[in-house]
């Protein structure tokens, strides 16, 4: 019996690797991995996959970049063909990118059960493309795997019955725990020429921050200000690099900001682990810093991951670039109060539910 796993963009690889390897150990299904190709660069895809020791995908859909409608539609068309070929008993999707929604929609229309890893997250900001993807994917899913109690509450509030919700914990943290020691030992900070604990690591790629030229200009000014206080390391996402242009990158470099290309999984984890502070508008980075005990400043008006505020090391800055002046390097290695079920074993719990659920369906079918 075939199960199809979908990955498409950088964070999907990190969330799905533990699920695929847990199912592999159980030997329960024939696993087919589909890479939509939403992210395709060596830096955004191949290097991350290699660091995670991710199995080579069975199908590569070559979707590439494009406007939301175009990208999602291409996924829908190409994935329908995969479903026809493979006839899976279930499709597993993760996170909130366009590939997640496209594949969930294709599967639901074919009457194939959908399982969603990282269900129930809500920023309540309908202007975020990811929020649209999350809400719709959850609505299309039969099995909803949650990583925090508020995700369970959000799903219940939307009328999802308890039988579909499985509170399994955070598979992204499984990947982190597996690689943490190797990442720390890499000392990626030394390669960038900064001292452990004495730099801020910055990542920014949200359309709301980088697609508006005025907002981006004010962010550049604020980062210039920060770089006068301490070293700033900025691995620049392709979307952000395109918006900054050469002039923007030069200005940052002249201010002393270390502008580098996106990094592989291990190098980026290493830089996070050694940072005095992390400034980000990413979702996953809020979680990873919470697990590493590193101060995170989230440069967004809202977070769909409030547990990282209450139980972790995250501070929500809002999206006014003036607030970046509040960033401080924190000289502690916090032992964050462990977030329940962010324990390195979430992938195994997902596998267990998938196997049991399938066995149950088979038993019913036999009657
Ligand atoms: C996507 C996700 C976002 C996630 C992010 C992680 C959606 C709606 N957004 O945003 O939720 O946080 O991935 O990185 O799915 N590009 C390259 N090489 C690549 C991929 C992209 O150069 O391998 C460039 C292209 O110019 C593209 C732009 O980056 O137009 C944006 O890529 P896209 O996949 O549309 O969205 P992200 O901003 O990466």
Q: Whose structure tokens read 């900025």?
A: 234
Cα 247 to ligand 1 centre (Å): 22
For residue 88, which phi and psi values (nearest 5 degrees)?
A: -70, 160
pLDDT digits (tens, 9 = 90+) for 156-180: 999 999 999 999 999 999 999 999 9
pLDDT digits (tens, 9 = 90+) for 227-265: 999 999 999 999 999 999 999 999 999 999 999 999 999
pLDDT digits (tens, 9 = 90+) for 172-225: 999 999 999 999 999 999 999 999 999 999 999 999 999 999 999 999 999 999
Q: Which tokens in the block code for residue 338?
A: 């462990």
Catalytic residues: 205
Ligand 1 atom closest to the Cα of residue 99 is 15
Burial class (CB in 10 A: 0-12, 13-18, 19+), 104: buried
Contact 156, 128 (CB under 8 A): no
Q: Which tokens in the block code for residue 110?
A: 């074919």
Confidence (pTM)? 0.96
Pocket of ligand 1 (CB under 6 A): 9-11, 38-41, 44-45, 65, 96-98, 129-130, 205, 238-239, 242
Q: pLDDT value at position 346?
A: 98
Question: Using DSSP, how many helices (H) and how many strands (E) does the chain show?
Answer: 15, 13
Q: Dihedral sign for Cα 163, 123, 98, 347, please.
A: negative
Cα 83 to ligand 1 centre (Å): 25
Across residues 46-67, what is the average pLDDT?
Answer: 97
74, 135, 130: which is closest to 106 by C-alpha? 74
CA 163 – CA 160 distance, rounded (Å) = 8
């Amino acid at each position: 019996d075939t199960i199809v796993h979908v990955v498409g963009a950088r964070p999907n690889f990190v969330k799905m690797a533990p699920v695929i390897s847990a199912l592999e150990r159980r030997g329960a299904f024939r696993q087919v991995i589909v890479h939509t190709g939403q992210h395709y660069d060596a830096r955004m895809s191949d290097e991350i996959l290699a660091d995670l020791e991710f199995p080579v995908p069975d199908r590569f859909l070559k979707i590439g970049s494009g406007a939301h409608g175009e990208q999602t539609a291409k996924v829908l068309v190409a994935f329908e063909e995969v479903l026809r070929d493979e006839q899976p008993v279930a499709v597993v999707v993760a996170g909130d990118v366009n590939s997640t929604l496209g594949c969930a929609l294709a599967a639901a229309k074919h009457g194939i059960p959908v399982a969603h890893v990282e269900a129930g997250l809500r920023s309540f900001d309908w202007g975020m493309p990811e929020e649209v993807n999350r809400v719709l994917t959850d609505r299309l899913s039969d099995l909803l795997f949650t990583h925090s109690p508020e995700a369970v509450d959000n799903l219940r509030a939307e009328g999802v019955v308890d039988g579909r919700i499985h509170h399994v914990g955070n598979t992204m943290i499984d990947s982190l725990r597996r690689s943490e020691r190797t990442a720390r030992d890499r000392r990626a900070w030394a390669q960038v020429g900064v001292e452990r604990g004495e730099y801020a690591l910055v990542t920014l790629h949200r359309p709301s921050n980088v697609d508006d030229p005025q907002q981006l200009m004010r962010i550049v000014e604020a980062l210039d200000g920060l770089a006068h206080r301490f070293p700033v390391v900025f691995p620049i996402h392709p979307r952000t690099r395109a918006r900054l242009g050469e002039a923007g990158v030069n200005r940052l470099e002249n201010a002393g900001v270390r502008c580098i290309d996106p990094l592989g999984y291990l190098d980026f984890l290493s830089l996070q682990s050694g940072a005095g502070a992390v400034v980000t508008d990413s979702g996953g980075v809020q979680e990873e810093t919470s697990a590493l005990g590193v101060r995170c400043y989230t440069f967004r008006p809202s977070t769909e991951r409030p547990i990282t505020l209450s139980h972790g090391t995250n501070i929500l800055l809002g999206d006014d670039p003036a607030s970046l002046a509040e960033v401080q390097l924190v000289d502690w290695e916090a032992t964050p109060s462990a977030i329940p079920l962010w324990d390195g074993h979430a992938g195994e719990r997902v596998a267990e539910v998938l196997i049991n659920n399938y066995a149950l369906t088979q038993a019913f079918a036999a009657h």
